[in-house]
Structure 1
Amino acid sequence: MASTSFRSRRIVVACGLVVAFVLVIVRLVNLQVMQSAELTVKADRQHQKNVTLEGARGTIYDRNSKVLAMNMDVPSVFGVPASLGNPGVTARNLSPILHVKATELEKKLKQEKHFVWLARKLEPEQGRRLERLALDGVGVVMEGRRFYPKGPLLSHVLGFAGMDDRGLEGVELRYEQYLRGEKRAVVLQRDALGRAVFPKGLNEEGAAAGHSLTLTVDEVIQYIAEKELDEAVSRSNAKSGTIIVMDPKTGAVLAMAVSPRFDPNTVGALAPDRWRNRALTDTYEPGSTMKAVIAAAALEEKVMTPGSMIYGENGQFSIANTVIHDHEKSGWITFAQMIQKSSNIGAAKVGMALGEWRVFDYLKEFGFGDKTGIDLPGEAVGLLRGPRQWGKRSLASISMGQEVGVTPLQMVTAVSAIANGGVLMKPFVVSEIRNAKGQLVAQTMPQAKRRVISSDTARTLTTLLEGVVTNGTGGKAAIPGFRVAGKTGTAQKVDPRTGAYSSTLLVGSFLGYVPAEDPRLAMIVVIDEPRGEGWGGVVAAPVFRRVGEQVLNYLGVAVDEPVKLAMAGLES
C-alpha cells in the first residue's frame, strides 16, 4: 500500500515537472519568437537615445574660391539625469566651464528625462576642459557652427546663420534650401544602469553636407570698397555710407559695402538695424544723379541734343508758386553744360519738355518703382508715384531727383544700362551652386531685362557724362589715365521734426562707370548725412576715384592717354 502511494506521488511530481517544463518552453518560444521584434525595440529604447543632428552647412566662396563662410566642428554638451548621483555637484562643476548659472544647470539635470542639452556649440577649449573633467552622466558631441573667417568683410551680403544652423539674413537666408545639410540621427548609448552615454557612429559617414555657393563678389574689391567707405564715413562724420561695384555688362555684383559694418560671428548683442543691408533696403531721394536718366530720355526722344540751348533764368525759376534755385547763376547754356553744371533749372525744363508720362515711362523702364530682382532678401521697391498722383511741381521736382525714392542698387543698375549700351541687366550675387561632391547644380547666366535706350543714345550720353568729370561738378572723381563718365548728386533730406527739406541733412553721392569707352566697372558711392560740406562732388566723388583706381589696377586694366572732352565739337 505504501509502495503504491509513493509511486502515485512520483507520477504526480513528474507530471508537474513536465507541465512546468512545457510552460517554460511555451513561454520561451513566445518571448524569443513571437514577441522578439517588440521586445528588441523596448530594449533599444532603454539603452539608446536618438538625437537629430545635421550635416555640415555648405561653404560660401568668393569669385576666386576664397572661403567667406564655412562650418567648424565645435562641442555641444548633454546630460543624462538618470545616471547622475548628485545633480547639484555636477552643475557646480559645469558652471564655470559653460558660463551658465549652476542653478539653471541643476534644474535641467533634475528633469525626469533620459537626455537634456546643457549647452550647444561651445568654444573648442571648453570642450577640452569638459573632457578632462570626465563627469559621469555628462557627454560631448561635435556639431557644426557657422564661422566667417573674414570677420566683418561682406557681412551685409553674407548675412548669418543662427544657433540651429538656419540662415537668418543675406545670402545665408536667401539660399537656405541649398546651404543647409541633411538631417541625421545620432545614436547615444547607455549601459544597463544608465550611467553613461556614448556617441555611436559619429565618426562614420553621416548625412550629406549642404551645397556650396560661389559668389560674383571679389574679396579684394570688397576689401578696397569697405576700407575706402569706412574712411570716408569717418572723415565726414557721416551717419552711414554705401558703395556698390558692378560689372555693367553682366549685372554681376563685384562688391557691396555698407558702413558701419558688423561681424557675423558675434551678432547676438547687435540691434537688427546694424545688419540691415542699406544698399538695397533703404530708399533716398537721389538728387542730381537722376539727371542722367532724364538726359537719357531727352536724347532718346530727340527732345534735346548736346547743343540744345536752355535758359538758366539767372539761377531762379518760379513754378507752381515755388522757386527752383541753382547753386550758380546761368543765362543761356547748352544741354551738355546743363549736365556738367548739374543745373536744377535746366533739368526741370528738360522734364517739362518731355512731359509727365514720358518721364514716368522712362523711369519705369530704367527700373525705378520696381525691385531689381537681385538674389538677396529684403529688397525695397522704392517710391515712384504715377502721374495722376503728381502735384503741379512734381514733374520739375522728379526731373531733378526729388519726390522719388530709390535704392543705391536701383541707381547703379540704371547707370549700368547706360554703360552697357542701353541694355538693362538683372543684378546678381551668386554665380554657381555645387553639391557636396562638387557637381554643378545651378549656374547664373547674365540676364538682359530689356533695352531702355539705343546704343547711339548711350554713346552720346556717355560723352556728356565724361564732361561732368572733365569740366563739371565731378572733377574729384577723375582717375589718371582713364576716361570716367559719371554724375554727382546732392539731395536734401526731409527733417522729421519740421516735415520740410533740411539744409543740413544731406545725402551726397556719385554715380559713374570706367573706362567710359569700354566699361569694366559701374559704381555708386552714397554718403548719408555728412557733416560739413555735403556736396556729392566733395564727399562721394573722391571715394569713387580711390576705389576705381585701385580696382582697375588690381584687374590689370590698361591705362589710356588722358582724354579731354572736346565740348566745342559736341555743341556745334
Structure 2
Amino acid sequence: MRHKLFHASDYQLVRRASLVALLGLLSFTYLTVAFAKLSTSSQHLSARPTVMPRGKILSADGRILAAGSLQQRRYPDGPLAAQVVGFVGTSGGLEGLERSYNDRLQRGEALTLTLDTRIQGAVEEILLEALTRTDAEFASTVVMETRTGKLKALASMPGFDLNSWKQVPPDRWRNRAALDEYEPGSVIKALTVAALLNEGRTSPDTTYDTPMWRRVAGATINDIVAHPDRLSTRQILRYSSNVGMTQLVETVPPEILFRYFRAYGFGQPVKLGLPAGDGLVRDPAGWDPLSQATMSFGQGMTVTTLQLVAAFNVMANGGRYVAPRLVLGGPAKTRTVLGESTATSMREMLHGVIDEGIKTKAVLPGYHAGGKTGTAQVVVDGRYSGKVFSSTFAGFIPADQPLFTVAVMVRGAKREYQGSQLAAPIFRDVTSALLSLYAMRPKIERSPSP
C-alpha cells in the first residue's frame, strides 16, 4: 500500500507541474501575440505621414489666397495672382511666395500681402482682354500706392490656375512683372528730363532746334510725330521727340545720367521677397555719344515693369523713391532722388503730355493723370525686329496729388502695338477701376467767366 500511495502522490505532483507549465505556456503565447499586435499597430501609426500646419497666405483685403497643409494645399481663388502666390510640391514651396517664404510658412506663420484682390482681379481681366484683342504674347502691370510703396496689383498675363499648375507650360508660372527685362522706349524720356531739370541743365520752357531727323555719331535719329522746327523741353515730351532728346543730353557728362538711372532703381533688382530682374544700365565708362543719345529715349538699356513703376513713382511722390512692398510689416524704405520743385514740374508737364496729346486714350473724362507712353522694337535673333514691339505706359493719378502709380507693358501685339494705342488705354481702364473702388470724384471744369 505504501508503495502505491507513493506513486499516486508522485503522479499528482507531476500533473500539477504539467498544468502549471501549460498555463505558463498559454500565458506566454497570449502575451507574445498581444505584443506582436501592439508592435504592428505602432508601426502602422508611425508610418502615417505627419500633417504639419502650413501658414496661410492672405491678401490685404482679407481673402485667403493659400491655405491647408503641405500635403493638402489649396488655392481658393485659383488663377488670382498665381505667379505671385506660387505653389508647393511634396517637400515644400516650388514657385512664388510659397517658395521664397517656405521656411516661415512651414512654421505655420501666416503671410499677409499688400495686394488688394479687387484691384488685382480687375487688372488681370483688363490685361487678358487686351491680349485677346491684339493677339499679343504677354503683358504685365503693376499698381503701387504712391506714398507707401504698397503694391496693390502685381499682374502677369496669361496666367494659370494654381490648383492645376501641372497642366500648363512652365512659362505661365513666370512672374513677368518682376522678372522680364526689356527696352522701355520713350517712357524713359520723362525720367531723363527730370534728371536734367534737377541738375539745372534745362528748364520746361528752354527751346531747342528739332528737325524731324538728325545725325548723331554717324547714325540717323528720326522722329515719328510731326512737330515744329523748334521745341521747348515740355514740347519735346509732348511730341515724344527723339531728336529733341539728343539735343538735351548732348553735353551732359555720362556719369550724371548714370547716377540718376541708378537712383531711380535701374540696374539692380527690387528687393521684394521674390526673384526679380536687375535690368541693364551699362557703366558710363563705356558710353559713346550715340549710346548716350539712345539711352535718353529708352533704347540700349533694360528695365522691368516693377522697376519702371518705382522709378515713375519718384515724380509722383515729391522726388522721393519709395521701395515697393508686397508683404505687410515694417516701414517703407525711401531715399531722395529729385527736388520737390522738380517733381512738381514733372507732374505738371506729364499732365500736359496726356491732356494735349492722348487724353481720351489714357484717362476718363473729368479726371486728370500724368504719364508717358513708349513703343520699342524688340531684339529678335540679335537684331531689332520690325514686327515685334514692346508697348509701355507709366503714369500716376490724380495728376496734382497722386495716390497711385501704374506701369504697363505688353509685348508682341499683332495689332494696335503703339504705346498710345495699347498701353495707354490699359492704364485708363486700370485707373478707372481704382477711381471706382476708392470713390474718387471727378474734377469739375469751370468755364471762364464772360
Question: Normalising to structure 1: TM-score of the pair?
Answer: 0.71
Match of 1:416 among 313, 337, 353: 313
Instruction: Decide whether aligned partners of structure 1 residues 54 and 46 sit closer, same or farther in structure 2, where only a CA change above 3 A counts.
Output: closer
| 2-11 or 274-283: bigger deviation | 2-11
The 1:392–1:338 alpha-carbon spacing in structure 2 relative to 1, beyond 3 Å, is: closer
Q: Which residue of 2 aligns with 1:55?
A: 52
> Counterparts in 2 of 1:134-533, with a 5 A limit?
145-162=72-89, 164=90, 166-180=92-106, 210-312=108-210, 314-327=211-224, 328-376=226-274, 378-431=275-328, 444-472=329-357, 476-496=361-381, 499-533=382-416
Does structure 2 conserve the Cα–Cα contact (< 8 Å) formed by 1:483 and 1:562?
A: no
What is the rounded CA distance, in whole Å, between the counterparts of 2:250 and 2:112 in structure 1? Answer: 46
Identity %, equivalent residues: 33
Counterpart code for 1:459: T
Residue by residue, what CA displacement relative to the aligned partner does 1:188-210 show, whole Å, maximum 9, x if unpaired?
xxxxxxxxxxxxxxxxxxxxxx2
Residue 9 of structure 1 and its aligned partner are, at CA, apart by 9.6
Larger Rg: 1
Aligned match of 2:430: 547
TM-superposed deviation, 1:563: 9.1
1:59 Cα offset (Å): 2.6
Deviation at 1:149?
2.3
Q: How much does 1:258 deviate?
A: 1.6
**In structure 2, the residue corresponding to 1:225 is in which secondary structure?**
helix
User: Shift of residue 13 of structure 1?
Assistant: 8.7
Query: How far did residue 477 of structure 1 move?
Result: 0.8
Q: Which runs of 4+ in 1 moved over 6 A?
A: 15-22, 38-41
Change in CA separation of 1:55 and 1:397 when aligned onto 2, cut-off 3 Å: same
Q: Is 1:57–1:165's contact at 8 Å kept on the other side of the alignment?
A: no
Deviations 1:420-470 (A, max 9, x none): 111111112222xxxxxxxxxxxx134223111111111111111111101
Q: Structure 2: how far apart are the matches of 1:563 and 1:389?
A: 53
Per the alignment, in what secondary structure is the counterpart of residue 354 of structure 1? coil
Q: Give the whole-Å Cα distance in 1 for the aligned partners of 2:359 and 2:271.
A: 30
In structure 2, how many angstroms separate the alpha carbons of the residues matched to 1:471 and 1:563? 18
User: Counterparts of 1:266 and 1:339 in 2: how far apart (Å)?
Assistant: 46
What is the alpha-carbon distance in structure 2 between the residues aligned to residue 42 and residue 260 of structure 1? Answer: 54
TM-superposed CA distance for 1:157, in Å, is 1.5
Q: Residue 63 of structure 2 corresponds to which residue in structure 1?
A: 66
- Partner deviation per Cα, 1:204-248 (whole Å, 9 max, x = no partner): xxxxxx232222111111122111111112112211111111101
TM-score normalised to the size of structure 2? 0.89
Q: Mark the CA change 1:467 to 1:563 in structure 2 (over 3 Å): closer, same or farther.
A: farther
- Output the amino acid matched with 2:440: V
Please report how far the alpha carbon of residue 14 of structure 1 lies from its aligned counterpart in structure 2 after TM superposition. Answer: 5.3
How far apart are the structure 1 equivalents of 2:259 and 2:420? 29
Unmatched tracts of structure 2, length 5 or more: none
Aligned partner letter, 1:151: G
SS in 2 for 1:265: helix
CA 485–280 in structure 1, closer or farther in 2 if over 3 Å, else same: same
Q: Secondary structure at the match of 2:48?
A: strand
1:65 aligned counterpart, secondary structure: coil
Post-superposition shift, 1:383? 1.2
Which residue number corresponds to residue 561 of structure 1? 444
Aligned-pair distance for 1:284? 0.4
Q: Once the 2 structures are TM-superposed, how far is the Cα of residue 390 of structure 1 from its aligned partner? A: 2.8
Instruction: Give, as a single letter, the amino acid of the residue that structure 2 aligns with 1:303.
Output: R
Aligned counterparts of 1:276 and 1:558: Cα–Cα separation in 2: 37
CA distance in 1: counterparts of 2:421 and 2:232, whole angstroms? 24
The number of residue pairs the alignment matches comes to 445
Structure 1 pair 40/339, CA: closer, same or farther in 2 (3 Å)?
Answer: same
Residue aligning to 1:108: none
Q: Residue 171 and residue 553 in structure 1: after superposition, are their counterparts in 2 closer, same or farther (change >3 A)? A: same
21 and 150 in structure 1: CA distance in 2 versus 1, 3 angstrom threshold: closer
Counterpart of 2:321 in structure 1: which amino acid? L
1:279 is aligned with what amino acid?
A
Q: Which amino acid aligns with 1:153?
A: L
Task: Describe the SS at the equivalent of 2:366.
Answer: coil
Shift in alpha-carbon separation, 1:149–1:19, aligned structure 2, 3 A = closer
Query: Which amino acid in the other structure matches residue 416 of structure 1?
Result: N
Counterpart Cα distance in 2 of 1:549 and 1:161: 35
Alpha-carbon RMSD across the aligned residues, in angstroms, is 3.1
Q: Deviations over 1:264-293 (max 9, x none)?
A: 111112121111011011100010111111
Per-residue CA deviations over 1:284-338 (Å, capped at 9, x if unaligned) read 00101111111111011000110111211x1111112111111135421101111
